[in-house]
Amino acid sequence: MRPASVGFQCPECVSEGARSTRSGRTAYGGRRSGNPALTSQVLIAINVAVWALILITGGTRSPWSYTLGLHTGTFRAPVQGGVQVFQGLLDGAYWQPLTAMFTHVEVWHIGFNMLALWFLGPQLEAAVGRARFLALYLLSGLVGSLFVYWFAPAYSLTIGASGAIFGLMGGLLVIALKVKADVRQLLMWIGLNFLITVVGRGFISWQGHLGGFIGGVLVGAIIAYAPRRNRAAWQAAGFGVLGVLLVAAYVVRTAMLP
């Protein structure tokens, strides 16, 4: 018999209690979040802060939209106070693939993206843990920026968190398939968003959306299908390999451009 909080328990009862106690980790190895919405709230706060900065410094004519947004090379643009020269990724603005993910100008743009993040983010963080959710969000956005760098017209300005949001859709789809959930409604929602992208491709970055979705599927697969034995090490290695491939693809594209 084993001493317990009330009397004594047999060893079999202790073992059964240990098995039935809720684990402190998710099914994919991440630590369970005490507040699964926290990371999404922080990401939303950063996006809103950048949007407010752009709004008070000129909106569509704010220099910050060109400094933080993603474009290929150096060019001149009309901003509040005159015309200004801005560097692009090709000329050393290496922060742009990341900062473009947090940059919005139009209220409908940030509103749609943050609403999607508000609904998708907590679900995914609860399923995979905070660190893996953040990796999914950021890596998906960077893959979306990579597709923009490769396939968007040169010197076009691309901004918005849409690539990362499509990455969350891709990651959620992979996890839902892994647990054999009914994905019909999710597929309908993803299909509707891609339909909107195709219809509005004149002013919507299909490159960022497609790249972000593919990035989300890749990161979701790394999280969901990593071997159970040494799962964290496998996942970290997968993220590392994807990061190296991303850097290599950016370098190759830069070498190809005049």
Catalytic residue among 33, 145, 162, 205: 162
Which ranges constitute the DSSP H helices of the chain?
Answer: 11-20, 38-56, 63-68, 96-99, 107-128, 130-151, 162-178, 184-199, 206-225, 231-256
Catalytic residue among 33, 71, 140, 209: 209
Element (H, E) at 79: strand 75-79
How far apart (Å, rounded) are the C-alpha atoms in residues 40 and 258? Answer: 39
Beta bridge partners, 86, equal 75
CA proximity to 65, closest of 54, 79, 81: 54
Q: Confirm whether 156 is a catalytic residue.
A: no
**Encoded tokens for 2:** 């084993």
Q: Confirm whether 162 is a catalytic residue.
A: yes
Annotated active-site positions, please? 162, 209
